Chain A
Amino acid sequence: MNETNRFEPRIIAYVCNWCTYLGADLAGTNRLEYPANVRIIRFPCTGRIDFNLIVKAFEAGADAVLVSGCHPGDCHYTAGNYHARRRWMLFRQLLDTLGIDLNRIHFTWISAAEGRKWAQVVTGITEQTRQMGPYTAYREIARASA
């Protein structure tokens, strides 16, 4: 593969408004470089990030999904991230049973002060996804007519 048609993963990041979004903003204002493969979608809280959105991202052709929000104890709404954490514990098990690649779904806590962590996480996920290649298995499901 040459430089021009190299596979560029599409990564959807669902982030919380109060921590990870500001962390990503901090990365920007600090002029930290990280891959442009990530598409950030801002939510009020990780508690708002419905599991259907993860499915939707794969339907729309995402190669990896990142879900990120405030560290435990830091939630702007006190407990949204705790509820989200419990939801993901169970949801991962369901996806695993379905045979959906758990290496393509990432969960992190990134605070508003952790611009550097944001850059590292996005770089890491991009590299890992590039190695794994496009998520053709789910893309086929999303495209098949029957």
Chain B
Amino acid sequence: MIVDQLRELCARLLSEGTAQVVIGYGQAAPGKPAYPVFIRRAEDADQLVWNDQCMTNLAATLKRREVKALGKPAVIVKGCDERALIMLAKESQIVRANIYVIGVECNGAGRPAMAKCASCDVHVPRWTDTVIRETESQAAAVRTTPSSARYADLEAFMRKTPEARLAFWRAEFGRCVKCYACRQVCPLCYCERCIADKNRPCVIDTSATPKGNFAWHITRAFHLAARCAGCDECARACPAHIDLRLLNLALAAAAEDHFGWRAGMDPEAEPPAGAYSLKDKEDFIG
């Protein structure tokens, strides 16, 4: 059982002093969504769980100051979470050597499985210190999914007319209450002061009106352009069920199309955000 191996490993890491805190999943009752737990004593290791309710992207906890204050972490990641971890390292937000990464094989989280799982091609994390798998004989770490499967939802949406798309987003953003949960759960939204909180000058209208909501959601999506690792935590955290996944997909598709880039897939690749190429396409510039 994966969970037994996890608990054993957690207890060992803490008692040996390899890590000061193990960031994993806890659960109030079977079938309830799992939540992050921060285990600091070996005897608490049996709080850890592993099942299809472990949806939370624990990489997002690493950006928090109070978590950094706990000492060297060991963090449990799924393949999708690991992509966020790679991006955090790429952007100098974490030092990979100072984190013990426990990868766990995942064949779909959530019940029913989250939308991202259908086209997942990182069932087994690859950039870990330890990886725990269901059985040793299972399929290769990276199963390639055709890009058409990754962007199927986006392509279906883009078949609507621009007017229908704008009307769709007016309805979606109309439900936004500006709780900024999408920002708080995002592993890559780590600015100490978010532009949405700045008011001199006020770039984004702070009210939850169509104007303010469009400005916010455009900003949130675009600040993650070619950076978003596609964990879909923003969409899952949204109390208004706004389809934020679609906006993230649009920018991921653009980044893959223009730069052949998928955020967090290759720790060696150079991110296209903040860089440029003399060969960038400019057929839209007069």
Contact = CB atoms under 8 A, between A and B. Distances in A.
Interface of A: 50-52, 55-56, 59, 72, 79, 82-83, 85-86, 88-101, 106-109, 121, 137, 140-146
B221 interface: yes
Interface stretch (B19-27, B38-46, B252-260): B252-260
B286 A72 contact: no
Interface in B155-194: 157-158, 160-170, 174
Nearest to A59: B211
A90 B255 contact: yes
B180 to A, nearest CB: 17
B interface residue count range (under 10 / 10 to 19 / 20 to 34 / 35 or more): 35 or more
Nearest to B157: A97
B252 to A, nearest CB: 10
A109 B276 CA distance: 17
Contacts of B274: 83
A98 B286 CA distance: 23
The DSSP consensus for interface residues of chain A is: helix
Nearest to B219: A52
B36 interface: no
Interface stretch (B48-56, B59-67, B277-285): B277-285
B99 interface: no
Interface stretch (B5-13, B113-121, B141-149, B202-210): B202-210
Contacts of B204: 52
B210 A141 contact: yes
B214 interface: yes
A98 B218 contact: yes
B76 to A, nearest CB: 32
Given A89-B280, A94-B221, A142 B211 contact: yes
A96 B222 CA distance: 13
Given A94-B221, A106-B286, A59 B215 contact: yes
13 contacts: A85-B276, A85-B285, A89-B254, A89-B258, A90-B225, A90-B226, A93-B251, A93-B254, A96-B162, A99-B167, A99-B168, A141-B214, A144-B211
